[in-house]
Homo-oligomer: A and B are copies of this chain.
Amino acid sequence: MPKVKKFKKKISVAILIIGNEILSGRTQDLNVSFISNWLNNNCGISVTEVRIIPDIEKKIIYNVLELSKKFKYVFTTGGIGPTHDDITASSIAKALNVKYEYNKEAYSILEKYYGKKEFNIPRKKMAKIPVGSLLIHNPVSIAPGFIIKNIICLPGVPLILKSMIHNVKKYIIKGSKIHSRSINLITLESKIALELKKIQKKYLKNIDIGSYPFFRLGKIGVAVVVRSSLKKNIFKCVNEVKNLAKIKKIKEFNY
């Protein structure tokens, strides 16, 4: 019997979205799904928890400390701009009990970008970073993100975040890529629930089967999503789901 390939250690990650605009519903968050997909595709990491909190210092401190203890990495987004409501960097410095002061490298990058004359106090604020941080290069709006301990701080504007995230890759330990396959069936969840449960039981150890009803292009159906870090097992499991569909005469929905 061939030896089962040993799993890479599972890396746990939390995302902490900091921003009143997301909580109030004014702005639709797009960073959770982007970071999750990026981490999975590029680092073999699944996000384990997300929190969205307001721009309030004590809440930032509480959540950063709790999440950084519980998880291997914490990604924060938002609150590192030039205005009064951007308090992520100073709050994290307080949480970690380190100084919050001008980072020479960040200061020099920003000064060069804006020119001495235009490098005003709000812009200088973006060079204030918890002492001991490593910078994350920002090619779009220049003001860098930073990493301190296991906390990775990125901006909230999706466009800027997307331009920077690949610069995070070198700092983090990789896990096993999670592979997934989706089988879209023209059926109702309740018609396949018992059989799916049996299949899930069979593959309990290393496959996660999710079932999601959909209403798309006038069709009502169920997306059965099979996820695992072991590609081989996925194929077996997908075949069982397809076989189930065959037996029950359930059509697949390909679009």
Interface residues of A (CB under 8 A from B): 17, 20-30, 32-37, 40, 46-55, 59, 81-85, 120-123, 125, 157, 159, 178, 180, 182, 189-191, 193-194, 196-197, 200, 208-213, 215, 225, 227
- How many copies of this chain does the complex contain? 2
Q: Which of B46, B85, B121, B208 contacts A194 (CB 8 A)?
A: B121
* Chain A interface, >50% SS class: mixed
A23 touches B52 (CB 8 A): no
Q: How far apart are the CA atoms of A48 and B46 in the complex, in Å?
A: 26
- For A22, the chain B residues whose CB sits under 8 A away are 32-33, 50
Residues of B within 8 A of A17 (CB): 50
B46 adjacent to A180 (CB under 8 Å): no
- In the complex the two chains form, what is the Cα distance from A21 to B212 in whole Å? 8
A85 CA to B224 CA, complexed, in Å: 11
**Known interface pairs A122-B194, A193-B84. Does A25 touch B33 (Cβ–Cβ under 8 Å)?**
yes
Of residues A40, A53, A210, which shows the largest number of chain B Cβ atoms within 10 Å of its Cβ? Answer: A210
